Amino acid sequence: MTEYVQSYEEFANKPVKFLLLIKKTPVPKAIELPDNIMFNFLDEINIRDINDFLDELKITEGGKRKVKKEQMLKLVHRGMLKKYVAVSDLNHGVHISFVAPDKIWVSDGHSLILTNSKGNKLYHLSDVNKNYGVHTVNSAGDLIYVDNDWNINKLNAVNATKSTLIQRTDLWEPWCIYHSSSTGDLLVMMRHDTRDPTIISKVKFIRYNSKVQPVQTIQYDSSGQQLYREPMYITENHNGDIVVSDRREGVVVTDYKGKYRFTYTGPARGLSFGMFSPHGICVDVLLNILFCIPFNYFQSVYTIDKDGHLLAIISTKKYGVIQALGLGYDEKNHLVLVGSGKTNRLCVYRHIERQAYLA
């Protein structure tokens, strides 16, 4: 056993040589484990998985090895359908906001409904704005939404009382909103109503702190060009990045300070407006960005990493979801909810599995 461990230490930073070593070297007999211990290998283990695992091994001064928590999670690129949820009194699923794993808010452009995991209606609002990403939930479970008059309201989760957080006073309209669970800030994409369809509207991002005071504005990149044109949904990544799905620009990402990082415009270049048009958007616990493409032959849920590299494409058609618009992510169970632009049925599929790595 000592010789085996010494050989391992020698090749710890050379994963491929290490694999060859353990293949040729007889391994001491393993100690029998109790019957109640179970290992579940959900995907095949390959050299790349093991290399990635070994790359994350850190030898401390005390000789202990630590593995990053993220390495115990792995994307399921093919998607694993769990179930469908038909929401009562809903026409289609435009936007999804999680309250808890068994309670979500879903809107269809006319109504905003609080539903449980069985699709039963628990609460209903009719004064929600007809735009897309117009509601979010704060850390207390309160609903924050844009109403028909472009005001941003809060519905208290305990007593269901309404209050106005931001009153519209000019031609700037809140088109999509998101509450940051890490900072308590409210992230808002504002679009200026020019009243003239021939003039391109100005768009800007505003961050409001917990006292609903504007503390940050993002509108242009470093060259003075406008970053956004027609924002549909907004979210925040766990590294602080601000992520916006803009159906004319793509997925636009800036860092926490407002510095432009990248715009994802699809796997193919030279696409015209309407062909690759991002809508519903969310992030997972591994900092990956998920978004819907509802139209044309691109109808899928795309996953890119935090730097804009394509990781996976899950066709929503195979799950019976036509025009995937709304998107929600259950961080506790690593499930993705997809809302359809055609029906009231939400598709729930597995996005991440806990992966047991063997070295």
Residue for token digits 């599995």?
A: 353
Average pLDDT over residues 152-169: 95
> Do both 199 and 296 map to the same domain?
yes
Inter-CA distances, 52 with 24, 47, 48, 241, Å: 22, 9, 6, 25
Two tokens at 164? 């106005």
Distance of alpha carbon 123 from alpha carbon 155, whole angstroms: 11
Q: Identify which of 25-29, 284-288, 319-323 has the greatest average pLDDT.
A: 284-288
Question: In terms of residue numbers, what domain contains 28?
Answer: 2-74
Residue for token digits 């609460």?
A: 123
pLDDT tens-digit series, residues 238-285: 999 999 999 999 999 999 999 999 999 987 654 544 578 999 999 999
pLDDT tens-digit series, residues 14-53: 454 544 544 454 544 433 433 332 223 233 333 334 344 3
| 61 or 96, greater pLDDT | 96
Q: Which of 53, 74, 95 is where one domain is finished?
A: 74
Q: Which of 19, 43, 74 is where one domain is finished?
A: 74
Give backbone dihedrals phi and psi of 55, rounded to 5 degrees, phi first.
-60, -25
Half-sphere exposure of 250 (CA within 13 A, CB side): 18
Q: Identify which of 46-55, 68-77, 129-138, 323-332 has the greatest average pLDDT.
A: 129-138
* Element spanning 292, H or E: strand 289-293
Whether 359 is covered by a domain: the verdict is no
Give backbone dihedrals phi and psi of 295, rounded to 5 degrees, phi first.
-115, 165
> Do both 149 and 103 map to the same domain?
yes
Task: Read off the pTM.
Answer: 0.77
Inter-CA distances, 36 with 32, 33, 39, 99, Å: 12, 8, 10, 35
Query: How much is the pLDDT for 269?
Result: 54
Distance of alpha carbon 159 from alpha carbon 347, whole angstroms: 31
Q: Which of 74, 94, 113 is where one domain is finished?
A: 74
> Do both 57 and 113 map to the same domain?
no
- Number of domains forming the structure of the chain: 2
CATH label of the domain that carries residue 126: 2.120.10.30
> Do both 17 and 151 map to the same domain?
no
* In 11-114, alpha helices (H): 15-24, 47-55
